[in-house]
Amino acid sequence: MRVLIVESDAALGRVWQRHLERHGMFVRLEHDQQGALEALGETRCDLMVLDLILTRSSAFAIADEAERRFPGVPILFVSKTSFFSDGSVFGLCANARAFVSTDTPPDDLTAMVEHYARSG
Model pTM score: 0.90
Domain span at residue 40 reads: 2-47+58-74+82-103
Top-confidence residue, 59 or 14: 14
CATH of the domain at 13: 3.40.50.2300
pLDDT digits (tens, 9 = 90+) for 43-79: 889 999 999 888 888 888 999 899 899 998 999 988 8
- Do the beta carbons of residue 3 and residue 49 sit within 8 Å? yes
- 98 within domain boundaries: yes
pLDDT digits (tens, 9 = 90+) for 81-112: 665 566 555 556 677 788 888 999 999 999 99
- 117 within domain boundaries: no
Determine the 3-state secondary structure of 29 from DSSP.
strand
- 113 within domain boundaries: no
pLDDT digits (tens, 9 = 90+) for 25-46: 999 999 999 999 999 999 889 9
**In three state form, how does the secondary structure of 90-106 look?**
HHHCCCEEEEEECCCCH
Strands 2-6 and 96-101: unpaired
Q: Please state which of the ranges 13-17, 40-44, 88-92, 113-117 shows the lowest mean pLDDT.
A: 88-92
